[in-house]
Amino acid sequence: MPTATSGPKPAIALGLRENWPQFTLLILINAFVGGMVGIERTLVPLIGSEEFGLTSTTLVTSFIISFGLVKALSNLVSGQLADRWGRKRVLILGWMAGLPVPFMLMWAPDWSWIIVANALLGVSQGLAWSMTVIMKIDLAGSRSRGLAVGLNEFAGYLAVGLTALATGYLASIYGLRPEPIYLGVAYAIIGTALSVFLVRDTRAHVALEMEGATAAQPSLSFRQVFALTSYKDRNLFAASQAGLVNNLNDGMSWGIFPLFYSAFGLGLDRIGLLKAIYPIVWSLLQIITGPLSDRWGRKGLIVAGMWLQAVALLLTALTRDFGWWLAASILLGIGTAMVYPSLIAAVSDASHPSWRARSLSVYRFWRDLGYAIGALAAGLIADAFGFAAAIAAIAGLTFLSGAVTAIAMRETRTVSRASEHAS
């Protein structure tokens, strides 16, 4: 009779050091995933207003609404698919959905093509980015969860920022299309190839972690996990609402900021810089804030980060100078870096390994629904009252979300420590 140790399979262990080749590969792949979003950060709102002559801000931001809705729904199913099919298959499926996107952006004859392209991008991001996060958490185990998430988000959002900067620069030389979007073609091809040929699935690591869990839990249905993550568990609820508002303000900045800056006469290169500095700061600092959340706890970083985002958005709305906008973009990046990895780590802390992937998918559903809500709300407010009013309104909502987290969330890092000592 074969034993569990027979055969050529390598030994399975938890930890970043023990799994560094696969972990590093997944960091690289998520950089390409992030780069796919980065090609849009500077260009697409301006393509809508300048090439297609769209005058309604709500219509311009419709591409973010399609992206956010589809990405949210893709996140919702990604955890179930990961548990049923395996992480690698879902990652590859995400890349398959993303391959047509840069070509559609380059050659779109009308705005409807941009909306459809962003729906496909939402599928790609919802599946591929979700898998890179989940697989890293699988590999890391409980001790370095914040660091693992921080490194993942660092890679993704550094690529977002650098690509936004590069596309803004290229657009100032060659125009909005097609040359700046060639970067997206390269990202899609390389990311797909690496995922197909080099990535290994991580479900065996989940099984190993479950062996060391403090207590077995009854099997939960997806409906039960959805309810726990959405409203029944106070920590998971606090994280879900904060994630939604965090991406709500990000969706607003994605659609509104290029139009806001352009209205004051900024050129494409300076708009690209402002759009780049926020995710670059966000990405770099997550290398620090992720491990800090492992050491200090999640709650304080989340609350302080949400309030710092609110200050940054209000500063953007109230000023009319490039230097102040640059300072606000840096503050927004710092605040988001404090929040982003801490929220994912908090959800992972409060979820049992047997249903963690599904809980993360529900959290990411609510978080990325924020893109659609933020773009729609900001577009409607901007059309009625102007860009500054839209930005200020979202700033107020972000501050309120931080207050909700301060009241509702209990520190989740103690849960992680308990499981760590028991394993």
Distance of CA 130 to the CA centre of its chain: 9
Domain count, the chain: 1
Indicate the pLDDT class of residue 19, thresholds 50, 70 and 90: confident
Indicate the pLDDT class of residue 416, thresholds 50, 70 and 90: very low
- Residue 13 domain-assigned? no
The pLDDT assigned to 1 comes to 41
Q: What percent of the chain has a predicted confidence (pLDDT) above 90?
A: 63
Whether 297 has a pLDDT exceeding 90, the answer reads no
Whether 317 has a pLDDT exceeding 50, the answer reads yes
Which position has the higher pLDDT, 212 or 311?
311
How many whole angstroms separate alpha carbon 20 and alpha carbon 15?
8
The pLDDT assigned to 355 comes to 86
The pLDDT assigned to 262 comes to 92
Residues 373-385: tens digit of each pLDDT: 999 999 999 999 9
Indicate the pLDDT class of residue 413, thresholds 50, 70 and 90: low
The pair of structure tokens assigned to 219 is 């099997």
Residues 162-186: tens digit of each pLDDT: 999 999 999 999 999 999 999 999 9
Supply the mean pLDDT for the chain: 88
The pLDDT assigned to 140 comes to 82
- Residue 259 domain-assigned? yes
The pLDDT assigned to 39 comes to 92
Identify the helix (H) or strand (E) that includes residue 403: helix 387-408
Indicate the pLDDT class of residue 361, thresholds 50, 70 and 90: confident
Q: What percent of the chain has a predicted confidence (pLDDT) above 70?
A: 92
- Residue 8 domain-assigned? no
Whether 8 has a pLDDT exceeding 90, the answer reads no
How many whole angstroms separate alpha carbon 355 and alpha carbon 364?
14
The pLDDT assigned to 325 comes to 97
The pLDDT assigned to 99 comes to 96
The pLDDT assigned to 217 comes to 59
Q: Mean per-residue pLDDT for 292-312?
A: 94
The pLDDT assigned to 79 comes to 79
Q: Mean per-residue pLDDT for 10-31?
A: 86
Indicate the pLDDT class of residue 388, thresholds 50, 70 and 90: very high
Residues 268-289: tens digit of each pLDDT: 889 989 988 998 898 889 889 8
Which residues form the domain of 308? Answer: 20-422
Residues 199-247: tens digit of each pLDDT: 998 887 877 777 765 555 567 888 999 999 999 999 999 999 999 999 9
- Residue 12 domain-assigned? no
The pLDDT assigned to 10 comes to 60
- CB-based contacts of 197: which residues, under 8 Å, 6+ apart? none
Helices (H), 141-267: 145-174, 182-197, 203-211, 222-227, 234-263
Q: Comparing C-alpha atoms, which of 371, 382, 390 is closest to residue 59? A: 382
Residues 57-100: tens digit of each pLDDT: 999 999 999 999 999 999 888 878 888 898 999 999 999 999 99
Cα angle 256, 260, 264 (rounded to 5 degrees) comes to: 170
Which position has the higher pLDDT, 415 or 150?
150
Residue burial 53-66, b: 16+ Cβ < 10 Å; e: rest: ebeebbbbbbbbbb
How many whole angstroms separate alpha carbon 273 and alpha carbon 42?
9
- Residue 145 domain-assigned? yes
Q: Is 372 in contact with 72 (CB distance < 8 Å)?
A: yes
- Residue 242 domain-assigned? yes
Indicate the pLDDT class of residue 291, thresholds 50, 70 and 90: confident
- Residue 2 domain-assigned? no
The pLDDT assigned to 147 comes to 80
Residues 106-159: tens digit of each pLDDT: 999 999 999 999 999 999 999 999 899 889 888 887 667 778 877 888 899 899
What CATH number does residue 359 fall under?
Answer: 1.20.1250.20
- Residue 67 domain-assigned? yes
Q: Is 171 in contact with 42 (CB distance < 8 Å)?
A: yes
